[in-house]
Amino acid sequence: MKYLCIFLSVFLIAVVCRAEDITISADADRQEITLDGQVTLTITVSGNISNIPQPDIPDLKGFTSYSSGRSQNLSIINGQVSSSVTFTYILVPNNIGDYTVGPFSINYKGNTYSAGAINIKVLPGNSQAQSPSQPSVQSSEPIDQGSNQPQAGKELFIKAYVDKLRAYVNEQVTLTFAFYQAVSLFDNPVYNPPVTTGFWAEDMPPQKKYYKVINGTRYLVTEIKTALFATSPGGFTISPARLEASLEDAGRVFPKDPFDMFNQDPFGMFKAGKPIALQTDPIELEILPLPEQNKPDDFKGDVGDFDISLNVDKNTVEENQPVSLKIKIKGKGNIKTISSPGLPDIQGAKLYDSGSSENISKDNYVVQGEKVFEKMVIPKKSGSFAIGPIAYAYFDPVLKDYVYKKLDPIVINATKSKDEPSEKTDSIPLAASKEEVRLLKSDIAYIKTLPPRFSPKDNFLYKNKIFLLMNILPFLILIAVYLFELYKNRLKTDIGYARSLRARGAASKRLKAAKNLANKNMVKEFYTEIYKAVIEYIADKLNIPHPSITKDSLGEKLTETGLAGEMIGEVKILFDDCDMARFASAKFTKDDMSRTLKQAEGIITGLERYI
């Protein structure tokens, strides 16, 4: 009995130790950064279980976080399962100060395991805390409001600047996003342009690439330019632009300690590189209203430097025949918003609009081109009449004054029509207006002089519609039953076809359940349901087992179907939001959940057309 008690005690101790053999640790690659830097947060969970749960991420005050994936190592030695999962996050600071990140925890079978908090100090950016002894960067960029100035030894950085901080309404402001690269990237970077609310935006291709040496480092610079035209006066803010990239991380394959290679995942060299997220500062712009002094009465809001011309296809025409009139406005400015100049009334002629056409070029990153307004003039009687004069006014931001241009009238000679209208014709003259349409002749209806011929109708049974329908209906029912049996057999034998048909219904049920969770303000459960709805819908449509499809392999699977890159990007953004919500649920509100639900419904509707 004594030995039995000892054995049971040792057994229970071993079971308890094994049940609690789970550890969690959190580490940051740096604890002191500048405002334009970033921190890589790594949370490692290890234990003697195969399915390690996701850690709970608290609200990361003072930082914007991005999930950059996870890696897992699983080993079985003498029947003992040992697993280690590493979760990686990128933290981008929002303000300077001292912050505490964490603590972090996981829940497993009712037990909570925690890792301590990490203290991170955020210092002013390099441009704000630059000492006089630092070398300055000689650059030809017009104006740079951002704090993303280059630092010595910095591998990647971005800048956003405009050519002017003060402009008039509808005057071109050129926004430039510059990406400085001194190292190789694991894949193509993802550029998220800034939000330009209050501006008419025009892309300015092509992208400009050149090399530049800064503080002894040679960078490949890529510039993306956008033309902005303000729609109203006042103060405006261009939001930050963001760039996500992956660096080639040689440390994963060739660690500094040669013995560390035995503790690494043997497939780590095939995984994504080191993620990095960069963000520019917002830019403040002051938009001035157009001056009231010297403003012409017929000014319609055009801003730039333009010329105007007028031409007709003929100067002599018969009455009731059209004359083609073209007014061309050419120059630099927002061509799409140019308004048609007014034409005075033309005595003895009708004027009709025939539309307009545009020809826009962006040479030297300046929006320019021409806009042609086409009109049709139809003289209603013979004689001479004048088209014009035509006046056109625009505001020149260089001169800071209005420019008024006037074209001399063009004289058109209308001759008598050679073809006299016939008295027996019922046709209406060309381009006749409603008031010119009149009744030319009238008469009584034609009276038939002979009675119609009638033939007896035989009442044959085969001519009865009800009889025919009763005979055809059984055949139609038989065909329908046969087609339905074929449909049922295909559902049983063709799993991919069955999954594809039921995918939309299953996704709709999950979205409905997610809506109920949103009403209860259950953030984590809501985003989990949204994630399952979309990823299981894609798996069913592509006939892929649910466990085998992941967020990382999703892009490759969708690309194989020929789906547009824009739609694939929307799916990835949705999954990133779901990951963030499950790890940092406190940041999300009911409005965020409502927006995510609409986004998921739109993605499923869009995918329904292509897969």
- Per-residue pLDDT, 288: 94
- Per-residue pLDDT, 546: 67
For residue 536, give the 3-state DSSP assignment.
helix
Contact by Cβ (8 Å): 368, 335 = yes
Q: Which range (24-33, 493-502, 511-520) has the least confidence?
A: 493-502
Q: pLDDT tens for residues 286-344?
A: 999 999 999 998 898 999 999 999 999 988 988 888 999 999 999 999 999 998 888 88
Q: Which residues pair with 105 in a beta bridge?
A: 56, 114
- Per-residue pLDDT, 326: 92
- Per-residue pLDDT, 496: 76
- Per-residue pLDDT, 12: 47
Measured torsion, CA atoms of residues 398, 399, 401, 403, in degrees rounded to the nearest 10 = -100
User: 486 versus 450: which is more confidently predicted?
Assistant: 486
User: 272 versus 573: which is more confidently predicted?
Assistant: 573
When pLDDT is cut at 50, 70 and 90, the band that residue 140 belongs to is very low
Question: Both tokens of residue 483?
Answer: 């087609």
Above 90 in pLDDT, residue 142?
A: no
User: 133 versus 281: which is more confidently predicted?
Assistant: 281
When pLDDT is cut at 50, 70 and 90, the band that residue 364 belongs to is confident
> pTM higher than 0.95 for the full model?
no
- Per-residue pLDDT, 439: 55
- Per-residue pLDDT, 309: 92
Q: Which residues pair with 401 in a beta bridge?
A: 396
- Per-residue pLDDT, 267: 46
User: 232 versus 245: which is more confidently predicted?
Assistant: 232
- Per-residue pLDDT, 551: 64
- Given the candidates 1.10.357.10, 2.40.50.140, 2.40.128.690, 2.60.120.570, the CATH classification of the domain at 17-123 is 2.60.120.570
Q: pLDDT tens for residues 542-592?
A: 888 766 676 667 777 777 777 777 888 888 888 888 877 877 777 788 888
CA–CA gap between residue 153 and residue 217 (Å, rounded): 7
When pLDDT is cut at 50, 70 and 90, the band that residue 456 belongs to is low
Most confident stretch, 28-42, 64-78, 120-134, 139-153: 28-42
- Per-residue pLDDT, 170: 94
Over range 165-193, report the average pLDDT. 90
- Per-residue pLDDT, 428: 43
CB-based contacts of 227: which residues, under 8 Å, 6+ apart?
A: 172, 173, 174, 175, 201, 202, 203, 204, 362, 365, 366, 367
Chain length of the chain:
611
Q: pLDDT tens for residues 366-418?
A: 999 999 999 999 988 888 888 888 999 999 999 999 999 988 888 889 898 77
Top-tier CATH class for 494-608: mainly alpha
Average pLDDT, the chain: 78
Contact by Cβ (8 Å): 155, 38 = no
- Per-residue pLDDT, 256: 47
Top-tier CATH class for 304-415: mainly beta
Tell me which fold the domain 156-288 belongs to.
Immunoglobulin-like (2.60.40)
CA–CA gap between residue 535 and residue 544 (Å, rounded): 10
Over range 429-444, report the average pLDDT. 51
